[in-house]
Structure 1
């Protein structure tokens, strides 16, 4: 399974989490934080890749620190991460 995150649509962190909820079909009780994302990803063996489009834009909108933490969560959860700037 490939999840695509388009950085052009990420104006704030709430946008990111809303996109994640839609793409991953997470339960209603999913918390909007990276710990909840990690927990969900490690419980789902079929999620193999997350592809970021316009990652630099996402980084400028959501903050470099948040994006670095996000990439660390994906790495820890063993999710293949692809960054595509086109």
Structure 2
């Protein structure tokens, strides 16, 4: 009985460790392929570059789009307009 309990504890520890490791390695990709073969409205978001997505979509009823859930690491740059006072 003790042996069975020890095996069950070791197995559950191994499974939970595997799930945690896989979650830590998951990452977001900036581009998604969408089309008739994809049930989800987001499609398959597993592409690092737009070109990778286009290559995969080539010859299929599919298109590429940005991943709406992709977390950008930097803020987009916004051009600031300078207003000069006193000059026309």
TM-score, normalised to structure 2's length?
A: 0.23
TM-score, scaled relative to structure 1: 0.24
Higher helix share: 1
Q: Higher relative contact order at CA 8 Å, sep ≥6: structure 1 or structure 2?
A: 1
**Structure with the greater alpha carbon radius of gyration:** 2
